[in-house]
Structure 1
């Protein structure tokens, strides 16, 4: 999981403590009575909005389940209570603003039917989307975490090996493109390899689709290998902070440190190499489902529209990815109209095999093919 068990428990403990740290009584029975009264008040308050909607309505209009929404609302409320500069909203107000924000993410707009039922003004809802998007984005270190310990890495690697036979893979490295209308005069840098304007962010996710790393918001035309080389996670792999492990990526990342790319056509000379590429394609194909799921649950990511800065787009993507990881923890099903995200071909810089530089990962792949994919007798083509 992207959210380690210990961290998840710490988050829940934080919620519990923030909801009860004002219970002060020297007599134990009095304290327990006060605790029950306050818990009753909290329960009564939290039912005021979320319980207006049945489970089917919540999934249809917010694309999240009731327990998931309850957790998100409580967590945001706890965070706001800790912030001395945040407005002192009660839980009902926080609930309305949170639900309005999530509804906007789910559909890319805010229907008046939702704001009316939440009892929130349209302008207030718009302000809530801006402020809570920033808050959710700032929460990303709590919910988007890379497996830094040896045991966590080995657990992630074993999961990938179970489905593909490829060892030591701890994540899939890919680039999430969001359609935008770019700033005037900078249109060309935003044209991606599928020929539309986009902003992209570097994503690493595990075999279950949990996001492990999210950084580097760039114009859609930026070469992927250069983004990886300058990223924090890329530098960590290059300096062996994650040991003898690697991420699996597309051909556009050829030459990237610790990135396992497909074997190029000129080197496919045995059935074993074909089997490796087939396994690689099977794992990398998860990109279509993970990114398609993100854009299906959070349809605001299908087209953000006009942008002024990359920072604002990055905040929105991070906020949705935080909610994505939480939804995975609560096993929330995807919307019925789930889309499949098309894969982006490599840029022209890596289209020709004759122009590709030497990649030490090629030697690693050769050894891997022999050890893990060369078991059949008919290895020669």
Structure 2
């Protein structure tokens, strides 16, 4: 009986560790299947699910047909592939006809949290810190972020030929595209509204809020660097000098 108390304490610790932790809809996937299905790692999915759960408590909604983590599964799977996978349908036992409204609801909830996680450096010290970190990576001074388009695959109707062609990007598939700015750690600093996939990068920049702010020198002597070019506060993307690929 000498080990009775330590064993009892160990069992209690294990029980307390899992107390209140309900099984997740994502537990059925191993890590490889999880990434293939959602293009995200398990910690990333857990973070998103927890954030959405907290947000959902403050949003007035009718009682959902699925649990929050199951609803997040539907939305993330759709974001990853542009269509709901059969595997997800089978695991949740739901009709695909219910998914569009669910995805719209979850998208609105996630979009409503954007200000908590996406912010462009505005104060002098914040700008200096971002610029210093980026300079350590690439050696270019006064850089506030790295600029790039992000394409999100969608399904467009081929029967509407003109509309369909506008969604076909240079990689040959249909998408919507948005302009992203990130820092050297991968934190998203700015996201611009989506455009059709055929939109050129120059056009994205010219019509973006951050592009206009840079042209009007609202951020002082700082740059935003792109894939092959640099943009200063006084120079447009079109006329700026080319830089080596990072």
Q: Do both share a fold (TM > 0.5)?
A: yes
CA contact (8 A) 1:250 1:262 kept: no
1:150 is matched with which residue? 124
The counterpart of 1:40, out of the listed 19, 32, 41, is 19
Kindly tell me: are residues 103 and 219 of structure 1, through their superposed partners in 2, closer, same or farther at Cα, counting changes over 3 Å?
Answer: closer
Kindly tell me: are residues 225 and 125 of structure 1, through their superposed partners in 2, closer, same or farther at Cα, counting changes over 3 Å?
Answer: closer
1:246 is matched with which residue? 223
Distance 1:179 1:193 in 2: 12
CA contact (8 A) 2:79 2:152 kept: no
Gaps of 5+ in 2: 1-15
2:49 matches 1:70: no
Structure number with the bigger relative contact order (C-alpha 8 A, sep ≥ 6) is 1
- 1:81-132: CA deviations, max 9, x gaps? 2112x22349x71111111222232333323332322343333334322321
Question: After the TM superposition, which residues 19-98 of structure 1 pair with which residues of structure 2 at under 5 Å, given as runs?
Answer: 40-41=19-20, 43=21, 45=22, 47-84=23-60, 86-89=61-64, 93-98=67-72
Distance 2:25 2:50 in 1: 13
Distance 2:145 2:219 in 1: 12
2:233 matches 1:233: no
- 1:331-368: CA deviations, max 9, x gaps? xxxxxxxxxxxxxxxxxxxxxxxxxxxxxxxxxxxxxx
2:107 matches 1:133: yes
Gaps of 5+ in 1: 1-36, 265-276, 284-381
Q: Secondary structure at the match of 2:149?
A: strand
Q: Which has the higher helix share?
A: 1
CA contact (8 A) 1:216 1:227 kept: no
Task: Calculate the aligned-residue CA RMSD, in Å.
Answer: 3.8
How far the C-alpha of 1:164 sits from its partner, in A, is 2.2
Q: Secondary structure at the match of 1:113?
A: helix
Normalising by structure 2, report the TM-score: 0.71
1:282 is matched with which residue? 245
Distance 2:214 2:31 in 1: 43
Normalising by structure 1, report the TM-score: 0.49
Distance 1:188 1:209 in 2: 32
Moved more, 190-199 or 102-111: 190-199
1:99 is matched with which residue? 73
